[in-house]
Each structure stands twice: as structure tokens, then as C-alpha cells.
Amino acid sequence: MIGRPRLARFLLLLTVFLCAACGLVYELALVALGGYLIGNTVFQTSLVLSIMVFAMGVGSLAAKPLQRRAVGAFALVEGALALIGGCSVLMLYVLFAVLGVYTSAMVVVAFVVGVLIGAEIPLLMTMLQRIRRQEAGGAVADMFAVDYLGALVGGLCFPLLLLPTFGQLKGALVVGVVNAVAGVAVVLWIFRRQTRRLVRVGLLAGMAAIVAVLSTAYWLADDIEVTARQRLYRDPIVHAERTAYQEIVLTRSLAFTGDTDLRLFLNGDLQFSSVDEYRYHEALAHPALAGERPRVLILGGGDGLALREVLRYDDVREVTLVELDSAMTELAADYDPLRELNADALADPRVRVVNADAFNWLRDASGPYDAVLIDFPDPEDTATAKLYSVEFYAMLANVLAPDARVVVQSGSPFFAPRTYWSIDASIRQAGFATTPYQVDVPSFGNWGFTLATLSPEPPELHLATDAPALDFLDEDVLTAASVFPVDRRARDDVRASTLMDPVVVEYARGEWRFD
């Protein structure tokens, strides 16, 4: 018999709650890691959840012969789950960085974790019935109600508490410790009279060893992450941080010219090289600034380099910079090498920084803006695809002055022509007339932009008569930039991208194969 059955039942249901929360955190951690490392968030989510749900069914069946020794079996299952789930993110990150292996290893980890999670409920149900017999329907209802509540709390704690406080690697390790203690110590205390002393001692020693391993991994996690991350980059890393939205990495080295080469990477994708970024940012900014420009809007561009070009015009009275990640704008404002590169642009009194999702911000924004620069990351997943949709450009049109000029960074017409011309089609479908153009940026290769206005005719690609002296652009370069070779001209086989049909993501995934 179990002493104090009400207390024992409460503690066991509390264990169900904690184990459910931990299990969902493991799932979300794998999804988030895949999104960071591989991109394609929808596919990563579908793959992880599908494998884990299937594996949970396998685990439930595998637990059937273990029910006669449910207490010991459950303690072993929770110990294994705490160790494997807690170390899963760290292990997969190291495998990706050192060996270049991710998806196959993730499938194995997700399956094993799913099997262990699936084995929990049958064993917990058996133990719950040992405390107090009740009808099967009532027991199932109690068990799943607490299980789902735990999943809710775990799902909310992951983005709101664990990621901001501990980060991805350490967050999973912390959850592993909670899982081990909840799954082993509590259950063994409840059923201590039904478990032989030697078994209890062995299981508790195992739990202590698992907690020690997880604690050691937590202590070493920062050093492991730094070492593993450096394997992903050619040049020495001088700054790295993982924010709620992305991983920001800055590297620094000497270029072949002898100049310092500062490079920014977001989630592993190169954003600029200080050796040639002026080519990109002159091409992005100055065609948009060839008309009226008292009020300028920059969407993206949190590094401040496009902003630097805008502020070279004395008649610019106000610039609004909308950047999702506050960590990026803070870095651009505070990190000395980046401040030097952007000419301390974010400190200019004409600049207003808004840290918000540009899509949602546009819904409530008030104009009119005379010039707009759009400098978003490439549309590699559905999260960024909405920023290249017909709906997004239609909302943008609502905040423009009648003669406003807009420039959109549109990817590479050479490496990703379908993506490039799909972006052009989306802008035109939203009511704009467009003039596509391309330039060469050595660190990127061939790169394209789209100049757009609300006028009925395609806008003229030119510089302002009072444009400052530029290092790359002049009228001859712009004239050549609007000419596309035969094999890279506008295509008839591409469609505009919308919120409900984000084809630009499909095009990008099919073309950027080396990513």
C-alpha cells in the first residue's frame, strides 16, 4: 500500500506535468535549432514533430511489457530522456559544426526522444492506478489533462523564459536536470516502500551521475559553442550572440588588399564584407534618393550601412529605420568597428529606430515617405517570405508620397533568377512600375535590386544631381546595371509571391542549392 495516497497522487500528477513540459521543450528545441542551422522552418517543424509523434506511438507499445516493473522502468526511461534530451541540442550543434552532419543525426535523436516520451504515459498510468484504483476513463482524463497542461507551460516557457535566460544550448541542459529529478527522485520517493533498497540506491546514483553530466555540460557549454562555431567560419570570430530571432556573428581578418575585412553573418549567411559593402549599399540607396527625400524609410538594414548612405544628403530631415532585432541595432550603435564602418549613423538626431516586425509595423504606419530602402535577408523560409509578398508591397504603397521611389534588394539574378524575377512580379502586382538592375559585389557575386514607383511608367534609373561623390556608382554604371544578358532577362515562368502562396521560398530553395 502507498501511504498518504492523496499526497502521492498529487506528486505523481505533478511529475506528469513536469515531464510533459520537458518533453515539449525538447521538441521545440530541435525545431528551433533546425531553423537556425538549416533554415526552412516549416519543413524542420514538420519533420521533427512527425518523427516524434510516430516514435511516441512506438514508445507506448514498447512500454507494455515493462508495466510489471513500472517504477524502475519509468526511472530508467526518465534518466535516459533527461540525458539524451538535455544534451541533444549541444550534440547536434557540434556534429553540424565539426562534421557537417545534421538532418540524419536529428532524425535519430528525435526518434529516440520520441520513443522515451511515448513510454512515459503507460508507465505513469500503471503507477497512478497502484496508488488508487479508478475507472479507466477517469484515470485517462486526469492523466491527459495534466499532461496537456504541462505541455502548455513548457511551450510557453521555451520562448519566454528558457531562450532569453539560458539560450538554446544551456536551456535544454537545464530542462534535462529538471527532467531527471522529477522523473527519478520524486517517483522513487512515492514508491520507496515498493522498491528494493539496492534498486533505489542504484537508480538514485544513476540520477546523480546524469545530473553531474548535465551540469558539467552546462559549465562547458559556452566554450564548446565558441569552439564549434569557429569551425563554421573561415576568419576569426570577434563577436557572436544568439538573440530571440537569429545568430549574429562578426568575423575580422586581413583582406588580400591589406585592408581589414569585417564581415557580418546572420544565421550563417553573409550580410556584408567591409571590403566591398560600399558597392552594395551605394546601389541600394542612391537610386532611391534621386527624387524627393525629406522623409526616408529603411526597412531592415539594422547594421546602419544603408542609413550611412542616406545621411550623406543634407536635405534628409527624418529617417525611420525599422529593424526586427534590437540586438542588431544596438550592436550597430555600440560596437566600435561597426560604428566606424557605418559612420555612427544611428547616433544622428534625424534617425528614429523602431524595433518591430516590418510587416506588422506597416499596418499601422503613417506616411507619407518620399524614399524607401528595403534591405531584408533573402526569402529562405516563410518567416521572411511575407516580406516579399504582394500584400507587403501593397501595404507599403499606402505610406508613400505620390512620387516616392523605392528600392528593394532582390537577390542574385544570376544564382537565383526565378527568385529575383518573382520578387519583381510581386512588386508589379501590388501596383508599382519597376526597373530591375544588377551590380557586381565581389563578396556576393552578381546581385540585383528593383527600383519601383507608383507611376504608370517604369522609373528612370539615375542619380540625384546633387549626389555626393561615390566610390562605385555613377551614371554610366547605372546605365549598364539596367542591361541584363539574354540568359538572365525577365522570365515568363515565375509567379508573384503571396501570403497564401509563398512561391518565392520554393524558388529560393531550388536555386540556392549550395546553402
Q: Which residues are known to be catalytic?
A: 375
Would you state the cell numbers that stand for residue 466, as one nine-digit string?
Answer: 546633387
Among residues 394, 396, 405, 397, the alpha carbon closest in space to that of 453 is found at: 405
User: What 8-state DSSP symbol labels residue 340?
Assistant: H
Among residues 29, 180, 169, 37, the alpha carbon closest in space to that of 109 is found at: 29
Would you state the cell numbers that stand for residue 14, as one nine-digit string?
Answer: 505533478
What is the rounded CA–CA span in Å between residue 55 and residue 45?
A: 15
Q: Which residues have CB under 8 Å from 221's CB, separation 6+?
A: 90, 169, 170, 173
Backbone angles phi, psi at 200, to 5 degrees: -60, -45
Angstrom distances, CA of residue 139 to CA of 1, 39, 134, 491: 19, 41, 6, 62
What is the rounded CA–CA span in Å between residue 419 and residue 421?
A: 6
Q: Which residues have CB under 8 Å from 421's CB, separation 6+?
A: 413, 436, 490, 491, 494
Q: Is 401 exposed, middle or buried (0-12, 13-18, 19+ CB in 10 A)?
A: middle
